[in-house]
Amino acid sequence: MKKSDKLLLSAFFVFIPLTLFIGGRLPGRGYYITAAALIAELSVPLFASFKKGKPQARELAVLALMCLICIIGRVAIPVPNFKAAFALIMLTGISFGGSAGYIVGAITAFVSNFFYGQGAYVPWQMMAYGAGGMLSGFAFYNGKIPKKPWILALFGFVGVVFFIGPLLDCSHMFLSMPQTGLKSFAASFISGFPVNVSQGVCTAVIMLVFGKPIIEKLDRFKLKYGILEPENGI
Amino acid sequence: MGFENCHPLVNFIYFAVMLYATVNFRHPVFLAISFLCAFAYSIKRNGKKALVFNLALLPPIVAFALYYSSYTHFGVTVLAENFIGNSITLESLVYGAVLAVSFGGVIMWLSCLYSVFSADKIIYLFGKISPKAAMLLSILLRMAPRIKNGAERLNTAQCSIGRGVNCGGVIFRLKNCIRIFSALVTQTLDSLISVSESMQSRGSTLRGRKAFSVYRFDNRDRAYVICMFSLITLTAMGGTA
């Protein structure tokens, strides 16, 4: 396991929950501070994954374009709870590795919420969206799982319904329920289940149709320019 | 010598405060002032095109007010009853209209902002963070026209072999759109990387580098800033009182 991955895991399990916990106590528009702190924390493992420890301009440019595409994938589809953003974030994670997927997901959630309205849930959404990218980055870590369309679709569906969805439900439990515990988590999970399933179906469809071409495209960039390689070789 | 020739900082303060006020103020008089000013200023900036765009915004505003009042039912002044027995109230209608007007105002202010803020102003304001940020900003700002141009070229090339965006039936068109989009993404990423490489090798990211600018903070800008801040303070005091 590489150093950047260790940093990423420690960020996911220790620092981000801590930030969310402290940030939840900030009054008023404190969630902007929490969101900025999240992005700052996430950029540490990302920068550690670069070759010289510093981002080159082209790597930042590619990540910025991926963020833009993910935001379009969320905003341009007018159907509620049926967005392509999850699939695109996961594909970024699959090709460029977990830390890149995490930061793309977090920035996508933050920026696209300017279209849907910012609120106290924004840091939670950033955490959950990014976690989707991280999960896919780790799952397809060294190419042992073949990147076939139907495997991607299955992975997308399961990942959204049983990983990203519950994380988003967590935010609902912590923000708007009177008490936190297993029972209230079950309640928010069950009430969020149909939404998760519809998002998961959308993710599976996008993965099935566009998964392979997009991965081929991104892999070509890794090969051509030697950027953002999660592994030694591809 | 209009407002757009002022120092970029003055423009930035004005638009930031204006957008904040339009989004957050719910008072109808404030909203009306903001809406009418945005209407007038966008027409002054963009002429006939802006007039058509602004008039086209009006039907969606009315439609949103109707839509909002059809699914929220707070208030006491009942205007009518819909077919499942929920009452459509005056209060929800007005609140929907207020929301829609503030949203339309934001869109019009953004069109003004887009025409006033040229790319060099943005780089002047935000490029001081670091040379790398300035370079990234200039690349990203150039990207929108670049993507538009590339899409047109791709479409022309595909049209000439009968696979353009407006050839064939619905499904065929959709397929063409997806193919052009895919080619566009590849092309954009490629050009993005080569542009950033070449700018970097010409020294754009060296330490201590400044972006070129022609702006000077003169007495007129000082007067603007003093006036604006006194008015902002007045409004903010009204908000707290």
- Tens of pLDDT, residue by residue over A166-223, are 888 887 777 777 777 778 888 888 888 888 999 999 999 989 988 888 888 888 888 8
Q: Can you say how many angstroms the Cα of residue B58 is from the centroid of all Cα atoms in its chain?
A: 17
Neighbour-count burial of A207, counting CB atoms closer than 10 A to its CB (0-12 exposed, 13-18 middle, 19+ buried) = buried
CA distance A227 to B234: 53
Residue B207 lies in a domain: no
Place of tokens 């590849």: B186
Q: Are residues B33 and B115 in the same domain?
A: yes
- Domain locations along chain A: 3-225
**Distance from B178 to chain A by nearest Cα, in Å?**
10
**For chain A, what is the mean pLDDT?**
81
Say whether A62 and B186 touch across the interface (CB within 8 A).
Answer: no
Cβ-based contacts of A61 with chain B (< 8 Å): 136, 139-140, 192-193, 196
Q: Are residues B22 and B105 in the same domain?
A: yes
Contact partners, residue A136, CB within 8 Å, separation at least 6:
A89, A90, A91, A93, A94, A98, A101, A155, A159
pLDDT of res. A54: 67
Model ipTM over 0.90: no
Say whether B193 and A58 touch across the interface (CB within 8 A).
Answer: yes
The answer to whether the CB of A54 falls within 8 A of the CB of A47 is: yes
Residue B159 lies in a domain: yes
CA distance B102 to B34: 8
**Least CB-CB distance to B192: which of A65, A217, A220?**
A65
Q: Are residues B93 and B154 in the same domain?
A: no
To test the contact with chain B by mutation, choose from A50, A56, A92, A222 the residue with the greatest count of B C-beta atoms within 10 A, namely A56
Q: What total number of domains does chain B contain? A: 2
Cβ-based contacts of B200 with chain A (< 8 Å): 56-58
pLDDT of res. A52: 61
Residue B24 lies in a domain: yes
Q: Are residues B75 and B29 in the same domain?
A: yes
Residue B184 lies in a domain: yes
Q: Compute the half-sphere exposure of residue A191: CA atoms within 13 Å on the CB side of its CA.
A: 11
Residue B209 lies in a domain: no
CATH code of the domain occupying A3-225: 1.10.1760.20
To test the contact with chain B by mutation, choose from A43, A65, A209, A212 the residue with the greatest count of B C-beta atoms within 10 A, namely A65
Say whether A221 and B193 touch across the interface (CB within 8 A).
Answer: yes
- Tens of pLDDT, residue by residue over B172-222, are 898 888 889 888 888 888 888 888 888 888 888 788 777 778 888 899 999
CA distance B102 to B218: 34
Cβ-based contacts of A65 with chain B (< 8 Å): 185, 188-189, 192
**Distance from B99 to chain A by nearest Cα, in Å?**
13
Locate all alpha helices (DSSP H) within chain B, ordered by sequence: 8-24, 28-46, 48-71, 90-116, 119-126, 131-160, 170-201, 219-240
Residue B153 lies in a domain: yes
Q: Which two tokens stand for residue B63?
A: 């439609």
Residue B18 lies in a domain: yes
- Tens of pLDDT, residue by residue over B147-180, are 899 999 999 999 999 888 888 888 889 888 888 9
Cβ-based contacts of B192 with chain A (< 8 Å): 58, 61-62, 65
Q: Are residues B151 and B32 in the same domain?
A: no
Neighbour-count burial of A154, counting CB atoms closer than 10 A to its CB (0-12 exposed, 13-18 middle, 19+ buried) = middle
Spans in chain A with pLDDT lower than 70: 1-2, 50-54, 228-234
The answer to whether the CB of A99 falls within 8 A of the CB of A59 is: no
Domain of B150?
A: 129-201
Under 8 Å CB pairs connecting chains A and B tally to 42
**For chain B, what is the mean pLDDT?**
87
Residue B154 lies in a domain: yes
pLDDT of res. A232: 44
pLDDT of res. A234: 38
The answer to whether the CB of A137 falls within 8 A of the CB of A195 is: no
Q: Compute the half-sphere exposure of residue B208: CA atoms within 13 Å on the CB side of its CA.
A: 0
